[in-house]
Structure 1
Amino acid sequence: MIKQVKGKWHVYSESGKHIGGPYDSRASAEKRLRQIEWFKKKGHISEE
């Protein structure tokens, strides 16, 4: 979830926890949210 607070954009988890920001543009916040979602789906990187 992305919210605007005091003119800056912040990324929040579904439970409402602040997980990123502030970002100057909504596009930057959306990019970070996509990165977070990608890592969530990919899982942990194992070292071999």
Structure 2
Amino acid sequence: MIRKLKSGKYRLYSRKPDPKTNRRRNLGTFDTLEAAKNHEREIQYFKRHS
């Protein structure tokens, strides 16, 4: 899940909430939406190919 911050950057959050905190885990902050989408793609690839 990607959200735009007030600073104009984009933050990637985990899809499921963290069971300990009941909030979504921060998976990185990026300057552009493209960079955030690219990293999300990399994460999904890694989850299935590790």
Structure with the bigger RCO (C-alpha within 8 Å, sep 6+) is: 2
What RMSD, in angstroms, separates the aligned Cα atoms of the two structures? 0.9
The correspondence for 1:29, drawn from 29, 32, 36, is: 36
TM-score of the two chains, using structure 1 as the length reference:
0.78
TM-score of the two chains, using structure 2 as the length reference:
0.75
* Structure holding more strand per residue: 2
Matched-pair identity in % = 33
- Unpaired runs of 5+ in structure 2? 17-23
Aligned length: 42
